[in-house]
Amino acid sequence: MANSADTHCPYCALQCAMTLTPAAGPVPVALSTPAAPLDVQGRDFPTNRGGLCRKGWTSASLLNHGGRITEPLLKGPDGVHRPIGWDQALDLAAQAVRDARARHGADAVGVFGGGGLTNEKAYMLGKFARLALGTSRIDYNGRFCMSSAAAAGMRAFGVDRGLPFPVEALDTASTILMLGSNVAETMPPFVQHLKGARDAGGLIVVDPRRSATAAFTADGAGLHLQPLPGTDLTLLLGLSHVVIHENLVDTAYVQERTSGYSAVVRSVNAFWPERVQSITGVPAELVRQTARMLAAGARAGGSYILTGRGVEQHVDGTDTATAAINLSLLLGLPGTARSGYGTLTGQGNGQGGREHGQKADQLPGYRKITDPAARAHVAAVWGVPEDLIPGPGLPAVQLLKSLGKSDGVQCLFVHASNIAVAAPDANAVIHGLRSLDFLVVCDFFLSETAAEANLILPVLQWAEEDGTLTNLEGRVLRRRRAVSPPAGARSELWIMARLAERLDAPSTYSEDPETVFEELRRASAGGPADYSGIDYAMLDRGEAAYWPYPAGSTGTPRLFTGRFAHPDGKARLVPVAPRRRRTPDANPGPAAKAMTLITGRLLEHYQSGAQTRRVAELLAAQPEATVQLHPAAAHAMGIGDGTLVSVVNSRGEVVCRAELSTAIRPETVFLPFHFPGAESANRLTEAATDPVSGMPEFKFNTVWVRPVAAPDSARMLQTTEAS
């Protein structure tokens, strides 16, 4: 049964508004997917203004996809998953928890969540892990996405909200500096908010590739800075050097609203433009021009600095985001009426998903789990003694490294994440999954991670449930049910409630989203991410709700207008410096050439591709991974367009076809991370992490590239089966 519903797209954090209505008739026979039960129309909303990308337009086609899991599946001794009943499935999961705790202790049970869960499910997952399972071992895939920007925002501003201003504020800016984000492909409706800066000639894009977003700077619309991978921090230090030494600093703002200026001045003294050019490859004059444009924009229509994963997914990602924040503070941008700094959240609920308890070190409301006052507040809401709440656990990479180890996680629950494809050093992650005593995966498709599970629990898709999400601007939105789910699928809220009963867990676990949200409101009250003044009724009326939204307030569309969130009300300028990179792997053979690998997204696919690779139109447009190479580098290696190529390092190998393009630097290769098996880019990425945020090194990995006459069929089969 289908109903009309106003809701939001299930994919990225732009959370484009859409209206779902019962489908009027069948889709053309030529499409391989069944007719979608719902028609999708874009809805006028500040973020997308009626527009959708092709992922959004096709999102309803997955609701009745033939590959949908509709009943619990148990893996037998022969490795085949077979249907079982819900009671048996829940009994098995509960017994696996009891066994792991009895043999190894409470922290032998782990939970891995996701930024696609609603606020209600993310909140309940944190509570379920800590009280029902009794474990500290919970983290989520947002650690791979927003953690560096979040850590930088917390130490500079005292709070982390991706965009501390409504996205519409960008419309009137005369200058926008965008670092490490290809929004033209990752969230296409966003580009309309860049029009004002483009028309003013003030769009500045920093990317080693001439991406679709960088191409918007052509014909006088702005600048494209194309640094060597891994040198963004040096580039930002150079920009701050110019701002300081050309007297472009907003002195009054810095004196009144920041601390730490002198230390930052000393830290950038060694990064004059010519030296920055020698390290980054960006011409010194472009460094100067960029700094001057930002300063002029701040005095005119407004300047904004935006960062994305390209500069954050590094072992120095927190410092790089901090350098971008320092630059914005020197120019006097954050907290003003027409300028600002922000970071572009990636996953659909990447913002809300990191606020309410999925992270290893946090409690609801973005509270620190080590803060005695925070623990006491949440314990009171949950109705349990404070000492029943475990302390901090392990961030995602360390959690995954512990799988199957003698002192690590032995029983793992995975929600809304496909870690077999999306996690760094994916071969090691798959080995860890196979080393577990018991793996439970909640999913609606047989993802590569679900394929490894002992037990798969079928859950609801986005249009089958109610709830809330928080978009990239910190605005809380309503998700509304439009279609009935398959009879055998269940909400994660229902699953957690039933398991909590079997485990005799303390506190309460409702399966009703609104009831859970009411508890979330109380748990978040007084915290940095305070939702206590928000309820379903106001969201259903269409009221804008930007957190923090304490009870009795009207919310906070623009943060920091009067003060920052530190006790003294001032932002922190924090000196940072580049760190030495690891020595690359040894050459695997004389025919191979060392290159720097960067990874990223394609227009047609999302995250690990577990959903978009099942949409016929999207898969037809991008059916396989290709490695992008510069023609000059390819020619030197005897590689032509479409040549089969081996990309290898000590962690693994990818075999795919070459795509030659002058849009990439000659010493760099690009791989999308949406594909599994022999095309899985994360077989090559390193599980080294940022010491502050726990972010893995996704964007700077040494690989060796060489042509292969034909794939080694035995090796390809082994690699594919390992996925």
The pLDDT tens digits for 548-600 are 999 999 999 999 999 999 999 999 999 999 987 665 666 666 667 899 999 99
* DSSP code, position 136: S
CA distances from 304 to 51, 172, 241, 246, 390 (A): 23, 10, 18, 20, 40
CA–CA gap between residue 334 and residue 165 (Å, rounded)? 9
Nearest to 359 by CA among 160, 155, 498, 96: 160
Per-residue pLDDT, 590: 64
Q: Which residue has the tokens 């676990």?
A: 509
CA distance linking residue 168 with residue 436, whole number of Å: 47
Phi, psi (deg, nearest 5) at residue 332: 75, 35
Q: What single DSSP character describes residue 40?
A: E
Confidence category of residue 434, pLDDT binned at 50, 70, 90: very high
Q: Are 15 and 8 in contact (CB under 8 A)?
A: yes
Burial 70-87 (b: 16+ CB within 10 A, else e): ebbbbbeeeeebeeeebe
Joined together, the tokens standing for residue 214 give 């960088």
Tell me: the pLDDT tens digits for 70-104? 999 999 999 999 999 999 999 999 999 999 999 99
3-class state of residue 701 by DSSP:
strand
Task: Find, among 249, 242, 229, 327, the residue nearest to 584 by Cα.
Answer: 229
Name the 3-class secondary structure at 51: coil
Nearest residue to 670 (alpha-carbon basis) of 696, 641, 642, 703: 703
pLDDT at 456 over 90: yes
Q: How many CB atoms lie within 10 A of CB 557?
A: 17
The amino acid at 633: A
As separate numbers, helices (DSSP H) first and strands (DSSP E) second, the chain gives: 24, 29
pTM here is 0.95
pLDDT of residue 579: 84
Long-range contacts, stretch 544-551, CB < 8 angstroms, 24+ apart: 544/475, 545/475, 545/476, 546/166, 546/473, 546/474, 546/475, 546/476, 547/161, 547/355, 547/470, 547/474, 547/476, 549/476, 550/525, 550/526, 551/525
Residues 643, 711: Cα–Cα separation, whole Å: 11
Give tens-digit pLDDT for 23-59.
Answer: 986 544 334 446 789 999 999 999 999 999 999 999 9
Give the burial string for 301-339 (b: 16+ CB within 10 Å, else e): bbbbbbbbbbbbbbbbbbbbbbbbbbbbbbbbbbbbebb
The dihedral sign for the CA sequence 195, 200, 201, 204: negative
DSSP 585: P
**Single-letter amino acid, residue 164:** P
Over the stretch 300-311, which tens digit does the pLDDT of each residue have? 989 999 999 999
